[in-house]
Structure 1
Amino acid sequence: MNDLEVRRLPGLTPYAEAWDLQRDLARRRKRDEVSDTFILCEHPPVYTVGRAAKDGSNLGAGEEYLRSLGAEVFWSDRGGDATFHGPGQIVGYPIIRLKDRDTHGYLRRLEDLLIGVLAEYGLQGWHHPEYTGVWVGEKKIAAIGVKFSSGWIASHGFALNVNTDLSWFDRITPCGIKEFGVTSLARELDRDVPLSEVEERVVPHFLDRFG
């Protein structure tokens, strides 16, 4: 199967539900039962911790405190460290087979597609030579954390801050990086930006690089 399906999940999708969907699609993609799939969704408040975290030190005051704020906490099988997902953020989960088996190049293409989206809003995004993700100025606007499973199947993906309440990031050390803050499209443009509008710009950039 070589076609690519774009699947938008309605409303706020619980992280566990999206994670289960990814695992199911990754297993089926390995067996060529489904085509490559690009999931777009928005989560209720949730902190996730990736495989790069050696402990919970980047979760600030700890899991119990974060849950008391109304957020879930998950230790995920993706790459990267601690980050936040929540309303006002576009999360993209490509479940695709890497035909070229170039994992490094895959991460750069994810960054490039987000930099392309930011350019449509007059923002100059860039990727840091030491860290995965996308920055505007000295602040990170998009986090990337992926998993590569047998059969060269990629899962997990990126989170782009659009109208995200950035105060959620104050409770953790995002991606384990202390020297950079976080930002959003809304903050950089000084206005709210409809998520549906940004999604419509994300999809063609994704298809240009992966379709």
Structure 2
Amino acid sequence: MSSKDLSLLEVSYLPLMEYGAAWKLQREAVAAIDAGTGNEQLILLQHPPTYTIGSQHHPEHLLLSAEQLKEQGIALFEIDRGGDITYHGPGQLVGYPLLKLGEDGRVDLHGYLRRLESVIIDFLAAYGIEGGRKPEYTGVWVGDEKICAIGVKFNKSKFRRGFITSHGFAFNITAGIGQQGFQGIIPCGIAEYGVTSLEECAGRPFEPGTVARELVPYFLKHFPYEVPAAE
């Protein structure tokens, strides 16, 4: 497929954005993509400390009281993506692909999730880290520790067949993130396994903004788009 046959993908990196603002940004972008007034997007960013509870809705997997959340400065949102509870915070790269699926009538929702996992698995492999899957869970694992959580929403198009994706992946970059916000929850409702980070697996420091830039070619490998040149 030549570049002239590819759809445009706008890629942006935002060093830090409050979760509610990012959620609003996604909804607005999805509406514009659906209406044909906006391009598909990949938004990469970090959030301040935040817990999000997905559509599986298990508030009992939040182990902190409202008072403790306030004391620790952690926001809480009940949102419309799939999955259970997870943590977002500085040192974690969050990716929101806002993409059109199924315009040709072929909708492989599970395939979309597997492709997101493959992006992270391929990136890890470039640093000599063996990432993989667990058949019963969505996400990317290194051994028995999760390094990347995935939770998405498939927004039914109002104007055409198919869906537009929102939400996405949360890739742990900084060492010690498992001892930070993840201590206050049962991550994704999975009590028997832990979490890890890119720094812990590679044994060297990483900067989330650099990882965001390096990750884009792996994303384009599994989701072929044309990315406009930066001005």
Runs of 4+ displaced beyond 3 Å: none
Instruction: Name 1:39's counterpart in structure 2.
Output: 43
Q: Measure, in 2, the Cα distance between the counterparts of 1:59 and 1:141.
A: 20
Radius of gyration: which is bigger?
Answer: 2
Are residues 1:84 and 2:87 paired?
yes
Report the residue type matching 1:105 in the other structure. Answer: G
Report the residue type matching 2:49 in the other structure. Answer: P
- 1:67 is matched with which residue: 49, 66, 70? 70
Report the residue type matching 1:117 in the other structure. Answer: F
Amino-acid identity (%): 47
Are residues 1:121 and 2:151 paired?
no
Question: Where do residues 189-204 of structure 1 align in structure 2 (5 Å cutoff)?
Answer: 189-204=202-217
> For residues 139-196 of structure 1, what are the alpha-carbon distances to aligned partners after superposition, in whole Å with 9 as ceiling and x for unaligned?
0000000000112000000000001522210110000001110000111122221223
- 2:113 is matched with which residue: 96, 101, 107? 107
CA shift at 1:66, angstroms? 2.3
Are residues 1:3 and 2:8 paired?
yes
- 2:218 is matched with which residue: 198, 205, 208? 205
Are the counterparts in 1 of residues 13 and 212 from structure 2 also a CA contact under 8 Å? no
Are residues 1:159 and 2:145 paired?
no
Report the residue type matching 2:128 in the other structure. Answer: G
Which SS does the other structure have where 1:188 is aligned?
helix
- 2:195 is matched with which residue: 151, 158, 182? 182
Consecutive unaligned residues of structure 1, counting only runs of 5 or more, are none
Which SS does the other structure have where 2:121 is aligned?
helix
Are residues 1:13 and 2:27 paired?
no
Most deviating of 164-173 and 124-133: 164-173
Q: Measure, in 2, the Cα distance between the counterparts of 1:193 and 1:46.
A: 21
Question: Where do residues 143-154 of structure 1 align in structure 2 (5 Å cutoff)?
Answer: 143-151=149-157, 152-154=163-165
CA shift at 1:94, angstroms? 0.4
Are residues 1:95 and 2:95 paired?
no
Q: Measure, in 1, the Cα distance between the counterparts of 2:112 and 2:31.
A: 20
Are the counterparts in 2 of residues 26 and 153 from structure 1 also a CA contact under 8 Å? yes
Which SS does the other structure have where 1:127 is aligned?
strand
Report the residue type matching 2:220 in the other structure. Answer: L
Which SS does the other structure have where 1:200 is aligned?
helix
CA shift at 1:35, angstroms? 1.3
Most deviating of 31-40 and 196-205: 196-205
CA shift at 1:208, angstroms? 1.4
Consecutive unaligned residues of structure 2, counting only runs of 5 or more, are 1-5, 158-162, 226-231
Which SS does the other structure have where 2:107 is aligned?
coil
Report the residue type matching 2:184 in the other structure. Answer: R
Instruction: Name 2:229's counterpart in structure 1.
Output: none
Query: CA, structure 1 residues 125+31, in 2 after alignment: closer, same or farther (shift >3 Å)?
Result: same
Report the residue type matching 1:142 in the other structure. Answer: C
Q: Measure, in 2, the Cα distance between the counterparts of 1:67 and 1:114.
A: 33
TM-score (norm 1): 0.95
Q: What is the count of residue pairs matched by the alignment?
A: 209
CA shift at 1:137, angstroms? 0.9
Which SS does the other structure have where 1:175 is aligned?
helix
Most deviating of 121-130 and 64-73: 64-73
Report the residue type matching 1:162 in the other structure. Answer: I
Q: Measure, in 1, the Cα distance between the counterparts of 2:195 and 2:65.
A: 20
Report the residue type matching 1:166 in the other structure. Answer: G
